[in-house]
Structures are given as structure tokens and as C-alpha cells.
């Protein structure tokens, strides 16, 4: 039985004071069980987030990390330090990072290894462009991204991580993939993990859908058999919407 995981991806929004205000607004209102609620905050807000999460059922995520623990890498964030801060998850391979910061499949794979070595859980993003979808390349493209990201990981490591399917054409556009479209690709990702590893690993790995998820469509998406969660950008910035998302079962 896979525990649903709803993660807010704030992207480059909110300062520490705004983070504090958001956390005050959700205090005492998060589900105690049955779903994992996660916020992926900008690095500058992670301190505020980890303090709050000590007393609340909220998991914490960074939006990126480097693959080396320390050294002369100006501007990068150490996975070792994120782990020491108590961060639970790290989002890697987001399409914005791939597009604007030239993150490659190989980088994503190195980051996945570093995050796991530092006892955190990667949330590995994958997804196709509109051109790739229209050309009928979605499944092969996404399977290729997943295979490259998981290279060298054991079946146990893969069973414990999270894969986020985020069609690029649905991110921040208001265009959600239909629940059936999202299910089709999430199902294909699970098949890919089964082929690369085994059935037990495929049944264990959690797969999120991301791309214009909001309170109005979360229930329908979460009802699909291979969708175990959401990675939510815009709608996670508002505390009421975030609460509605994580309480989708009520």
C-alpha cells in the first residue's frame, strides 16, 4: 500500500517571513495520517520550514542540490548539509532546471545517488514537451528519462524514491493533463520500473502527477491507480489551497 504524497513546489517564491506566515496558517490543520504533506521551499526558506516541521506532520523538501558534499562549487547547495538540516526530500530534474539551467539526465542521476547516500529521498521529475506528445514520443521519452535517472541504483533504493511525471505543456499553463492522460504515462513509468527492476519495486515506487494540479482536480487525479500523489506549483502557494490539496481524501 503506497502512502499518497502531495508536495507543494513553491519554486522561487516566498521569503522567510512569508514562509512563516504560510506555516502559521496551516498549523494544526494538516492530516495526521493517510497522506504525506510536503513543501519544497527555496533554499533560503528551508530553515523556517524545518523548525515548523518538527512539531507538525509536514515533510520538508529542497528544490535542488549538488552531488558533491562540499568543496569549491560556488553557488551550489550541499546534499550533506540539507540532510543535517533535517530535510526529507530533494526535487531533482524539474523541467525548469533542465531547460533554464541545462541540467542533464547524467546530472540528475548523480544527484539521485548523492541524495540517497545522504539519507534523503529524491523526487525525480520527468515529462515531455508538447511537440514530443504530438509526435507520439511521450512514453519512450519519459521511459528514457527514468532509466537514465535511476542508473546504478538498487531495487531497494528505487522502491523508496518518488518519480514525478510532469508534462511540460501542463506546467503553470492551467492546462492539466486529463486524469486518463496522466494515468497512462504514470502507468507506463511503473511498467518501466518493472522492466528495469522487478514487480515488487514497481509496486512500491510512488509516482506523482504534476502540472496545474489544484483543489478542483486533485481528487480525480488521485483516484487513478498509478497516481500516488501530486507535485503542485501555483496552487501550493496559498495555504487554503494547500490544505485542500493535502486533505483531498475528506
9 vs 118 by CB, closer to ligand PGA: 9
94 is catalytic: yes
Contacts within 8 Å (CB) and 24+ apart, 19-24 = 19/45, 19/48, 19/49, 20/48, 20/52, 22/237, 22/239, 22/242, 23/48, 23/49, 23/52, 23/56, 23/58
Burial class (CB in 10 A: 0-12, 13-18, 19+), 216: exposed
188 is catalytic: no
Determine the residue with CB nearest ligand PGA: 233
Q: Which entry of 96, 103, 157, 166 is annotated as an active-site residue?
A: 166
Site string for ligand PGA, 157-176 (x = CB under 6 A): ---------x----xx----
Residue from 149, 211, 242, 246 in contact with ligand PGA (CB under 6 A): 211
Helices (H), 59-211: 79-84, 95-100, 105-117, 130-134, 138-150, 155-160, 179-196, 199-204
95 vs 118 by CB, closer to ligand PGA: 95
Site string for ligand PGA, 231-250 (x = CB under 6 A): xxxxx---------------
186 vs 202 by CB, closer to ligand PGA: 186
CB of 217 to ligand PGA, least distance (A): 11
CB of 166 to ligand PGA, least distance (A): 6
C-beta of residue 121 within 8 angstroms of C-beta of residue 160: yes
Task: State yes or no: residue 122 binds ligand PGA (CB under 6 A).
Answer: no
Residue from 93, 127, 167, 210 in contact with ligand PGA (CB under 6 A): 210
SS3 131: helix
- Residue 4 backbone dihedrals phi, psi, to 5 degrees: -60, 145
Integer Cα distance of 234 and 250 in angstroms: 22
Q: Which entry of 94, 96, 157, 188 is annotated as an active-site residue?
A: 94
61 vs 171 by CB, closer to ligand PGA: 171
The catalytic residue positions are 94, 166
Residues contributing to the site for ligand PGA (CB under 6 A): 9, 166, 171-172, 210-213, 231-235
Amino acid at each position: 500500500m503506497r502512502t499518497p504524497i502531495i508536495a507543494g513546489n513553491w519554486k522561487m517564491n516566498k521569503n522567510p517571513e512569508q514562509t512563516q506566515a504560510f506555516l502559521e496558517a496551516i498549523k494544526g490543520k494538516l492530516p495526521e495520517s493517510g497522506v504525506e504533506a510536503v513543501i519544497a521551499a527555496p533554499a533560503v526558506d528551508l530553515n523556517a520550514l524545518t523548525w515548523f516541521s518538527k512539531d507538525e506532520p509536514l515533510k520538508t523538501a529542497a528544490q535542488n542540490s549538488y552531488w558533491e558534499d562540499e568543496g569549491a562549487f560556488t553557488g551550489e547547495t550541499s546534499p550533506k548539509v540539507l540532510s543535517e538540516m533535517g530535510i526529507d526530500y530533494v526535487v531533482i530534474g524539474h523541467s525548469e532546471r533542465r531547460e533554464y539551467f541545462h541540467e542533464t539526465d547524467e546530472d540528475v542521476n548523480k544527484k539521485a545517488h548523492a541524495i540517497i547516500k545522504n539519507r534523503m529521498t529524491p523526487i525525480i521529475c520527468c515529462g515531455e514537451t508538447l511537440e514530443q506528445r504530438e509526435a507520439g514520443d511521450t512514453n519512450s521519452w519519459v521511459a528514457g528519462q527514468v532509466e537514465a535517472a535511476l542508473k546504478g541504483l538498487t531495487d531497494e533504493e528505487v522502491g523508496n524514491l518518488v518519480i514525478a511525471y510532469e508534462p511540460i505543456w501542463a506546467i503553470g499553463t492551467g492546462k492539466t493533463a486529463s486524469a486518463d492522460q496522466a494515468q497512462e504515462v504514470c502507468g507506463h513509468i511503473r511498467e518501466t520500473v518493472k522492466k528495469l527492476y522487478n514487480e515488487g519495486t514497481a509496486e512500491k515506487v510512488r509516482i506523482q502527477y504534476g502540472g496545474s494540479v489544484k483543489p478542483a482536480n486533485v481528487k480525480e487525479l488521485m483516484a487513478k491507480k498509478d497516481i500516488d500523489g501530486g507535485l503542485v506549483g501555483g496552487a501550493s502557494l496559498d495555504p487554503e489551497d494547500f490544505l485542500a490539496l493535502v486533505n483531498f481524501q475528506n
